[in-house]
Structures are given as structure tokens and as C-alpha cells.
Amino acid sequence: MTTPPFSDPTSAELAVVSDQLGRPVRGVVGIAARCICGNPTVVATSPRLPDGTPFPTFYYLTHPAATAAMSTLEATQVMPELAALLDDEDVAAAYLAAHRAYLADREQFGEVGEIDGISAGGMPTRVKCLHALAGHALAAGPGVNPIGDEALARSTWSSDKCRCDDPGAAVRGAEARGA
């Protein structure tokens, strides 16, 4: 299994992600998904942060509109409905495969004993964090993570429509600052 293609982050993109998160980025190894305008939407993060902290969330959703949409779903009690989908054997099998794919992607950047076998979002048996599941779905593409795909489908956010304040401005601004 190979990691979905993603680009190495530029200093300008890291500045955009820092702005999106409201804090400095940590351990970013790639831009795993982008807004239609080109701004980062999902980053791939090292399984061990520079300070040595284990970090299981390899695919990290950063786009403010996407994270807000996932927060809205969580606040409106959609997670139990999505968890109930795991009662279907086919969905459960696909979710287990998504868990394994996630681990394989992350392990290409190092194995960290403290998080061995732990992916994100509750995989493979629970639905715990829609942000992580949507991030994985966006990075891996449709059909890999059924719960992430369903969360995206139920949300008000779409990767097909830019919801950045000014499409491309964040990256252009960071580049102009020399970041």
C-alpha cells in the first residue's frame, strides 16, 4: 500500500496552515488535500512530533470551513447515526480497511510504539472524531473511508467550492512575506 500522493509543504503553505490553526504547525510532512483554490485543507503529520510527542493523527483537517462543518455535525448528534452504519458488515469491513490503510500511510513516516495500532477518529470500531475521518477521506479520496465520506456528504462544506476568505490570498500573502 502506498501513501496517497501529497506535496512537500512550502514555507508559505506552512504559514497558511499556522494561520488556519491559530498556532504554529508541528511536524507537517506534507499537504495531503487542498481547497479547490489551492490552499491547504488537510496536512499529513509525522507520527512523532519534533518535541518527541507521539501523534496518531496522520491526516489533520486544517481548513476552517471544513473543520466548522465537522464540528456542526458533531454538535447535531450525527455521530451516533454514522456509528450505526457500522452495523452493516460491508461498511464495517470497509472501515477496518480504512483503518489499516491509515496505519500503513503513517508508518511510512516512522513507527511509534506508543501509538502502534491506533489510527484516528475511532477506527476501526467506533466513530469518535469526524474531523479526523473527514481529513482521511479527503486525503485518501472517495471510497477509502466510508464514514469520512458520509460525514463529508452530510456536511455543508464541499471541496468543490472554495470557502476561503479570499481564494489563494493566504498562500500569496505568505509568499509575499517570504514565509
Summarize pLDDT for 4-63 with one digit per residue, the tens. 678 789 999 999 999 999 999 999 999 999 999 999 999 999 999 999 999 999 999 999
Task: Judge whether 102 and 74 are in contact, CB under 8 Å.
Answer: no
Domain assignment present for 86: yes
- pLDDT given at position 165: 72
Amino acid at 37: C
Joined grid coordinates for residue 110: 516512522
- pLDDT given at position 167: 47
Task: Judge whether 133 and 148 are in contact, CB under 8 Å.
Answer: yes
- pLDDT given at position 4: 64
pTM for this entry: 0.90
Joined grid coordinates for residue 116: 502502534
- pLDDT given at position 176: 43
**CB under 8 Å to 90, separation ≥6 — which residues?**
none
Domain assignment present for 57: yes
The DSSP secondary structure of 53-101, one letter per residue, reads -B----EEE--HHHHHHHHHHHHTTHHHHHHHGGGSHHHHHHHHHHHHH
pLDDT tens digits for 57-84?
999 999 999 999 999 999 999 999 999 9
Domain assignment present for 1: no
Q: Output phi, psi for 152, to 5 deg.
A: -65, -40
**CB under 8 Å to 43, separation ≥6 — which residues?**
9, 17, 25, 28, 30, 31, 32, 59, 60, 62
Domain assignment present for 151: yes
Task: Judge whether 108 and 60 are in contact, CB under 8 Å.
Answer: no
Domain assignment present for 6: no
Domain assignment present for 22: yes
d(CA 131, CA 70): 6
Paired with 54 in beta bridges are: 48
| Number of domains composing the chain | 1
Domain assignment present for 3: no
pLDDT tens digits for 154-176?
999 998 899 887 544 444 444 44
pLDDT tens digits for 88-135?
999 999 999 999 999 999 999 999 999 999 999 999 999 999 999 999
Domain assignment present for 2: no
- Show the domain range for 25: 11-176
Task: Judge whether 109 and 47 are in contact, CB under 8 Å.
Answer: yes
